[in-house]
Structure 1
Amino acid sequence: MKKVLLLFSVIVIAGIMVFTLFHRKAEADRKANTTVDTVQSVSTITLQKQNLQSDFNKVGEIQANNQVTVVSQIQGTVQAVYANVGSYLIAGAPLFKIDDELPKSNLNSAEASYQKAQKDWERAQELHKEQVISDSELESARATMRSAEASYISAKREYKNSYITAPISGVITDRPINLGAYVSTGTTVATLLDKSIFKVKVNVGEQEAFKLKVGDPVTVETDVYPGVSFNGRIKSISDQSDAAHTFPVEVTLPDSEKYPLKSGIFGTVHFQLGSENNALTIPREALVGSVKNPQVYVFANGRVKLRDIVVGSEINTKLVVTKGLNVNEQVVSSGQDNLADNMAVKKVN
């Protein structure tokens, strides 16, 4: 009986030992599989040199270089009309003639008074030399002459204003006054548009504003002429930003005889910030840390190494690497948030 119990005990102990061994092996296998499953996955890019062109576009309204509203300086009836809507006039060309009967009469009267005051002043000087009149009488004659001169100049100007002329060279876009109409001082009689040069005003971000320079070339495109580009240049860059921290930039471009522009249409301004030829670049999102202390993870043989680099210019979404990386090296472009130096990883691309 004792032998039976002993044998049974040995069998039970052996079974327990076998179970324990298998359980430990299964647990080790499970842990190993878990370790494999928790290896970080990353995506990489293979570095190659390339030519980059930095540019951006802004949409703005194309406006004529200058628009002038012409108003009448006197009141009266329109006696003659010399130009119509669409007419091109050079600066100084006549637009209208206002009834000049009264201005001309005032001018003749003022001229006669001025001539008499001049003669009185000359005679007063002679009499003063002979001590016939006093100093106060001499000054009175001088004042009368100057007042008459001012009245004459005013009357001459009013008579001249009876002819309304073009203040600038341009095209008439509006002429609300017709022959026979009565106009008052300040009445709008026409609108002139100088379209020899057009301008586009757009707002650019602070990063772009500091990369642009006055005189830089730009191209402008419109939906009116698909596929046609107009060459222009930056005329001005404001030193003051607006509430949105953008800076007003004005671009000018000449009119085209083949593709004439009109004021008020929309245009897309194409700015060029520069270029980099044969440059080694990385995407901005591959960077670890800041541009001041740039680092990237370099993948090789199933592991990643954290490496210091030196970056130059930033073109669109790419950084130009000037030191620290080589062609054909693989840089982690995504999945680097939880990485550490020399960590084992799994590349998924």
Structure 2
Amino acid sequence: MIKRLIIAVILLGLVVGGIVGFNLFRSKMIGEFFANRQPDPVTVSTMEVEAGGWMPGIEAIGTARAKQGVELGVETPGIVKEIRFQANDEVEAGQILVQLDDAIEQADLAAAGATLNLSEIQLERQRTLQARGVTAANDLDEAQASAASARAEVEKLTAVTRQKALRAPFAGTAGIPQIDVGQYLPTGTVYATLQDLKAMRVDFSVSEQQGRLVRIGLPVTASSEVGDISLGGRVIGIEPRIDPNSRLVTVRAEVDDPGASLNPGQFLRVRVELPAEQNVIALPQTAVTSTLYGDSVYVVHEEGEGEEKKMTVEQVFVQIGRRSLGRVEVTGGLSPGDTVVTAGQNRLFQGAPVRIDNTIDPTAAAFEPIGQ
């Protein structure tokens, strides 16, 4: 019985020892395999760092406005007698848009005209008598004053009558009528809008730091995703006062819109083109990786020659500056001639082997002008 127990213990020890030995052997072999295994090269796109031209700009959000655009209001109260326009009509300057009832004013004007005629006749008679010396001087003065008063009354009633005919202050496109025939309109009632769509302006705001860079005449590009619109223009006005609440400066630009593609109030993205600069190192934004530790890029290094030639990457931290049109300015950390990875860096690590494939440039779309 004891012999059997001893034999069983010995067999159990051999089995356990074999299992432990096998696991140790397997772990050692796996470790040696991964220690000697070279990772497969990562396919990346690259570009050579070079100093070149930089087109700085200021980007902002703007609102389209007509060069001339108003809300048409009523100058004097009255009842709408006739509406002489429809929505989107092209009207001329001085064209009557709405006629208010002016029957009373016309009657008063006719009465004032009759009074003026009588006053002028009496004045002429007094002048004739004065020439003959048969009338007093004060009679002529009274006749002149009466004629002047009658003439002023006619001019006043003529002006009131004209106010009953609501005219377009300039040529443009009329909006939707906001009134109906027979409706009583108090003073100041808005009855339509009028917009001159032949010339458009864009109002936008920039920070007070950027406002110091903006100058009259600088080129501007206004674009919109709606209709794939991109229009050029120039800065025509800079508000001299900084808003004390937002600390923003209002800027106005005039854009060329021969196709009347913009509408007043439309949302636009605006870019003010600043003077070009030279000898600036700039990379696509896709080449720069930003983390809590800073901004970095992967620089490709070549090792060996011939068949032994290998390419590996080094993570280099850089200092970045301005951003513009999908590019970022690098102010430190790189030198002209360095080869930088522009795509594929999500699989890279320090010293990783790489294979370069620049047949497709993933950054090209970032530099295409809007609308292309």
User: Could you tell me which residue of structure 1 aligns to residue 231 of structure 2?
Assistant: 230
Q: Structure 1 pair 47/176, CA: closer, same or farther in 2 (3 Å)?
A: closer
Could you tell which deviates more after superposition, 175-184 or 265-274?
175-184
Offset, 1:319:
9.0
Offset, 1:246:
3.2
Q: What is the root-mean-square deviation of aligned Cα atoms in Å?
A: 3.4
Deviation by residue 1:305-330 (Cα, 9 ceiling, x = unmatched): xxxxxxxxx99775999xxxx9679x
User: Could you tell me which residue of structure 1 aligns to residue 129 of structure 2?
Assistant: 127
Offset, 1:131:
4.1
Q: Please give the alpha-carbon distance, in whole angstroms, between the structure 1 residues aligned to 2:217 and 2:135.
A: 68
Deviation by residue 1:162-185 (Cα, 9 ceiling, x = unmatched): 322212222222312122323344
Q: Please give the alpha-carbon distance, in whole angstroms, between the structure 1 residues aligned to 2:53 and 2:202.
A: 30
Q: Please give the alpha-carbon distance, in whole angstroms, between the structure 1 residues aligned to 2:131 and 2:247.
A: 73
What amino acid maps onto 2:101 in structure 1?
A: D
Which of residues 152, 158, 161 in structure 2 aligns to 1:159? Answer: 161
User: Could you tell me which residue of structure 2 aligns to residue 242 of structure 1?
Assistant: 243
Deviation by residue 1:272-324 (Cα, 9 ceiling, x = unmatched): 111124x15599xxxxxxxxxxxxxxxxxxxxxxxxxxxxxx99775999xxx
Alignment partner of 2:194: what SS? Answer: strand
What amino acid maps onto 1:261 in structure 2?
A: L
Which of residues 146, 149, 161 in structure 2 aligns to 1:147? Answer: 149
Q: 1:59 aligned to 2:77?
A: no
Whether contact under 8 Å (2:280, 2:329) holds in the other structure is: no
Whether contact under 8 Å (1:53, 1:315) holds in the other structure is: no
Alignment partner of 2:56: what SS? Answer: strand
User: Could you tell me which residue of structure 2 aligns to residue 103 of structure 1?
Assistant: 105
User: Could you tell me which residue of structure 1 aligns to residue 174 of structure 2?
Assistant: 172
What amino acid maps onto 2:262 in structure 1?
A: L
User: Could you tell me which residue of structure 1 aligns to residue 189 of structure 2?
Assistant: 187
What amino acid maps onto 2:150 in structure 1?
A: A
Whether contact under 8 Å (2:54, 2:280) holds in the other structure is: no
Q: Structure 1 pair 97/129, CA: closer, same or farther in 2 (3 Å)?
A: same
Alignment partner of 2:275: what SS? Answer: strand
Q: Structure 1 pair 201/280, CA: closer, same or farther in 2 (3 Å)?
A: closer
Q: Structure 1 pair 246/75, CA: closer, same or farther in 2 (3 Å)?
A: closer
What amino acid maps onto 1:235 in structure 2?
A: I
Offset, 1:128:
3.3
Q: Structure 1 pair 320/274, CA: closer, same or farther in 2 (3 Å)?
A: farther
Q: Please give the alpha-carbon distance, in whole angstroms, between the structure 1 residues aligned to 2:189 and 2:207.
A: 42
Could you tell which deviates more after superposition, 49-58 or 62-71?
62-71
User: Could you tell me which residue of structure 2 aligns to residue 220 of structure 1?
Assistant: 222
Q: Please give the alpha-carbon distance, in whole angstroms, between the structure 1 residues aligned to 2:127 and 2:56.
A: 78
Whether contact under 8 Å (1:125, 1:138) holds in the other structure is: yes
Offset, 1:193:
2.0
Q: Please give the alpha-carbon distance, in whole angstroms, between the structure 1 residues aligned to 2:336 and 2:186.
A: 78
Alignment partner of 1:174: what SS? Answer: coil
Offset, 1:218:
0.8
Q: Please give the alpha-carbon distance, in whole angstroms, between the structure 1 residues aligned to 2:77 and 2:239.
A: 42
Could you tell which deviates more after superposition, 206-215 or 90-99?
206-215
Whether contact under 8 Å (1:47, 1:280) holds in the other structure is: no
Give percent identity, aligned residues only: 23
Q: Please give the alpha-carbon distance, in whole angstroms, between the structure 2 residues aligned to 1:100 and 1:68.
A: 25
What TM-score results when the alignment is normalised by the length of structure 1? 0.62
Q: Structure 1 pair 246/69, CA: closer, same or farther in 2 (3 Å)?
A: closer
Alignment partner of 2:147: what SS? Answer: helix
Alignment partner of 2:274: what SS? Answer: strand
Offset, 1:256:
4.1
Show the 5 A alignment for 1:1-349: 48-226=50-228, 228-243=229-244, 244-257=246-259, 260-277=261-278, 279=279
Alignment partner of 2:80: what SS? Answer: strand
Whether contact under 8 Å (2:123, 2:143) holds in the other structure is: yes
Offset, 1:269:
0.7
Q: Please give the alpha-carbon distance, in whole angstroms, between the structure 1 residues aligned to 2:168 and 2:121.
A: 38
Q: Say how many residue pairs are matched.
A: 252
Alignment partner of 2:175: what SS? Answer: strand
Offset, 1:187:
3.3
Q: Structure 1 pair 170/97, CA: closer, same or farther in 2 (3 Å)?
A: same
